[in-house]
A and B are shown apart, each in its own frame.
Chain A
Amino acid sequence: MEQRKKTQLAEMDRGVYDIKNEFEYSYIANAGLTEEIVREIWANKKEPEWMLEFRLKSLDIYNRMGIPNWIPDISGLNMENIHTYVKPKVDMKEDWNEVPEDIKNTFDRLGIPEAEKTSLAGVGAQYDSEVVYHSIQEDLVKQGVIYTDIETALHEHEDIVKQYWMTLIPPTDHKWAALHGAVWSGGSFVYVPAGVQVDIPLQSYFRLNAPGAGQFEHTMIIVEEGAKVHFIEGCSAPKYDISNLHAGAVELFVKDNATLRYSTIENWSKNMYNLNTKRAIVGKGGTIEWVSGSFGSRVSCLYPMSILNGEGAHAEFTGVTFAGEGQFLDTGCKVVHNAPYTTSNVNSKSISKSGGAAIYRGLLKIGPNAEHAKATVSCESLMLDEISQSDTIPAIIVENDNVDLGHEAKIGRISDEAIFYLMTRGISEEEARAMLVRGFVEPISKELPLEYAVEMNNLINLELEGSIG
């Protein structure tokens, strides 16, 4: 009888994601978090004075704030061991040929330059704490579209950045927002002028290579009236034996009748604590669409939030979470209806296996002014074995009578009958299970750009490999 292969997490080969480069840098902050380190980061980046004030104020808030009592155990994360700023050995380039060979190879293996040639209107690539490559198609520049790294934006478009900076995610929001405010570095800035339709997506990829480091990139996207853009975000890191931290912030400003689609596949290594915050505010008739895949990290706390402030604004959230051995992925989304005739649809799927824990945590709030609001939430969880965990923790708050709201959730496992049927058709048990899992997440994968859908299917295959027997 053929011996079945049983993959253990420790030995799992995550392919291109796990290839480490030699740890090289031009500057590294000491481990830990002190005022001196914050001042060093600020000085290193030659930022305006108001940003130092902001950073120090955020540090003060961080020191005074406690860790929320509802999040998963993060005792394995010790800020005293985290390097909050690691500047790579290269400045930002606009030509891949000028990027050092090992860093370029990393992004080559992740398929970024190839995707840029075939299907993207602009690309940003961040390596550790700084953006190393940025480009945008010329015709978009002519239309007034700005797509650059956040540091360049802070110098060249300071008035816009200052106007919006951490207004959606204030440092007082929670401890990791305060940490972000103090030590942020890197990230992307997108500005789409009124009426401009960016038909081809923009993509930023965040790669953390340094062991024991934190990545705190800040993404700010402003989509003016009637404009439209699709932004794709990718994240990955190789696995180390020590903890890494990701505490990014994404602030999205969707003006009247504008549309923004924000797609993400997070594929952090399983030593990563991913405490990320994403938030969008949407004006009259505007639309925010979130497509989110959470696969990696040891612990994730990620709940993209949509604040529907304009009449007729709409939010769409499509998300999938896959938790394997040793992972505790606490994910979900928040929608706040603040205006009449606002609508939202949430469709969340989660899978847990090999002792992993997948938690859906959500909020649907319909405020007193959101008359005629309509909202639907659907959560489905699949457990692939008896040692895993799957929880659904939604909060639904309704503060006016003229609403139409529906929420559904279900938990279950792959039906034995479905596996049996596929096996009678000559398909192995392992492939049958993989097919059914792929079918389960199909509504999500069809919303992703093709290369990300392929990546997601590869990740599912990787996670399921050897899981039978």
Chain B
Amino acid sequence: MSELLFNELPRPTFRWLRVNHTPASLWGEAEEAKGVIVKGNDAIIATLPIGTALVNENYKGANSEALCQLIDTAEAYRIEVPAQAKEVIGIRIDGSARIASRFQFIIGEGADVEVQFYLDGESKEATNIQYLNEYVVNADAKVVVKKVNLLGSTLQHIEHRYTKLEERADVEFINVEVGGKENFLHYEHDLQGEACKIVHDIAYLGNKDQKFDISMVMTHRGKKSFSDIHTLGALSDRAKKSFRGTLDFLRGATASEGAEEDTCLLLDPTVKSISLPLLLCKEDNVVGNHAASAGQIDANKLFYLMSRGFSEVEAKHMIVESMIRPIIDRIGDEVIEDAALTAVRNKI
């Protein structure tokens, strides 16, 4: 496939900066893809016919051409959680071969759902792990999605995620992104219902030539809706991170609040960090904040730890780990947390 434009900025800016999108090609051949295991209550898990329309037909994903191709070929699941039910769903993605998958979650009113995504494995040849998540979170439902990416360094990892939140829906997304060589993450969250709430935290750690290209759009339509984006991570060697975050307050989203924060720790002079935290506002009665920061490890923290007998390298390890660990600790599965921590320690 020819070069595609990934994660296009909803409102482009100066062209010469070349940050309005990221050009890339899809890796690997388009052979049949398998390697996904979905665990949970069988009664609520069904297959979804290939080519089923999107929950939001206007959703373009990280790249619309790649998404269309995915919809037409992906092995797809529909997970429909009844109203008031409580469920835990586990999804394991094995990156030893190409993956093209789709997961559509319909969460009934007042339901309480936890979804765990665990991605690991490595293929011999460079290939592509691509999947689409769609969440329809009905009124008063609560959803927590925890994702740990420990994919191998031969893989291109593309995630498209769309979420629709109805009245008082409460959604929490936690990402721990450590693996994959080229990661395109596209998240579009549609806050339609009154008083709905979404928090999306992403921790990443990049080294060598790893790329993390993250796009997140929070569209506030409902009154009193609340969103919070928090990305934090560290880069070393020649790793590169692009964060395109957009808080979009549409007319009618009265008394809504949104915040986004992007924090990046830079560990080598050859890293590159790009941050585009957009605030778009057509409603006066809202509070929107964004913050971005980038820098080295705090010299005072380093000095303190070294004065306690740690070497400089040990002290740096501790500081990076302590930054990412609070997010890893929220995964709640001891085995997965240990695997994530081991991966983090190996990379620092």
Measuring CB to CB, which residues of chain A are less than 8 angstroms from any residue of chain B? 68-70, 334, 361, 363, 365, 368, 371, 381, 383-413
Contacts and interface: CB of A to CB of B under 8 A. Distances in A.
B277 interface: yes
A388 B14 contact: no
A3 to B, nearest CB: 25
B45 interface: no
Contacts of A393: 11, 13, 276, 278
Contacts of B347: none
* Residue from A392, A393, A403, A405 with most neighbouring chain B CB atoms (10 Å): A393
A413 B295 CA distance: 32
Contacts of A361: 13-14
B285 A403 contact: no
B290 interface: yes
A406 B267 CA distance: 17
Interface in B271-285: 271-285
Interface in B252-287: 264, 266-269, 271-287
A407 B271 contact: no
B306 interface: no
Given A386-B285, A400-B266, A407 B17 contact: no
Contacts of A69: 12, 15
Nearest to A406: B293
A386 B283 CA distance: 5
B275 A409 contact: no
Contacts of B267: 401
A410 B287 contact: yes
Interface of B: 11-15, 17, 19-20, 249, 251, 264, 266-269, 271-296
Nearest to A383: B284
B285 A413 contact: yes
Contacts of B280: 391-392
* Residue from B14, B264, B286, B291 with most neighbouring chain A CB atoms (10 Å): B14
Nearest to B265: A401
Given A69-B15, A383-B284, A396 B279 contact: no
Nearest to A407: B292
Contacts of A391: 11, 278-281
B15 A407 contact: no
A365 B272 CA distance: 11
Contact of B273 (A383, A388, A398): A398
A95 to B, nearest CB: 45
Rank and list the top 6 A-B pairs by shortest CB-CB distance, nearest first: A401-B266, A383-B284, A392-B279, A411-B288, A396-B275, A70-B12
A396 B292 contact: yes
B284 A385 contact: yes
B282 A398 contact: no
A300 to B, nearest CB: 16
Contacts of A387: 251
Given A390-B281, A393-B278, A394-B276, A411 B269 contact: no
Give the interface SS of chain B, mostly helix, strand, loop or mixed. Answer: strand
Contacts of B13: 70, 361, 363, 393, 395
7 contacts: A363-B14, A371-B269, A392-B280, A396-B292, A402-B296, A408-B289, A410-B290
A410 B269 CA distance: 31
Contact of A411 (B277, B279, B291): B279
Contacts of A70: 11-15, 20
A407 B269 contact: no
A385 B286 CA distance: 11
A390 B283 CA distance: 9
Contacts of A365: 17
Given A409-B290, A409-B291, 14 more contacts: A383-B284, A389-B281, A393-B276, A394-B276, A395-B275, A397-B17, A398-B273, A400-B269, A403-B266, A406-B293, A407-B277, A408-B289, A410-B289, A411-B286
A410 B336 CA distance: 37
B268 A401 contact: yes
A376 B156 CA distance: 35
A322 B210 CA distance: 43
A399 B242 CA distance: 12
Contacts of B249: 411
A408 B288 CA distance: 11
* Residue from B20, B273, B276 with most neighbouring chain A CB atoms (10 Å): B273
B318 to A, nearest CB: 18
Contact of A404 (B283, B290, B295): B295
A408 B276 contact: no
A396 B292 CA distance: 8
* Residue from B20, B276, B280, B292 with most neighbouring chain A CB atoms (10 Å): B292
Contacts of A400: 266, 269, 271
Contacts of B282: 388-389
A371 B290 CA distance: 25
A410 B288 CA distance: 5
B308 to A, nearest CB: 24
A405 B294 contact: yes
Nearest to B285: A413
Contacts of A390: 279, 281
B284 A388 contact: yes
A405 B293 contact: yes
Contact of B277 (A68, A368, A389, A394): A394
Given A386-B251, A392-B279, A408 B286 contact: no
* Residue from A363, A396, A406 with most neighbouring chain B CB atoms (10 Å): A396
A399 to B, nearest CB: 5
A276 to B, nearest CB: 15
A392 B246 CA distance: 10
A26 B291 CA distance: 54
A395 B275 CA distance: 6
Contacts of B279: 381, 390-392, 409-411
B345 to A, nearest CB: 21
Contacts of B12: 69-70
Contacts of A68: 15
Contact of A386 (B264, B276, B278, B284): B284
B205 to A, nearest CB: 15
A403 B294 contact: yes
Nearest to A382: B284
B284 A395 contact: no
Given A69-B12, A401-B266, A409 B17 contact: no
B285 to A, nearest CB: 6
Contacts of B273: 396-398
Contacts of A386: 251, 283-285
Nearest to B280: A391
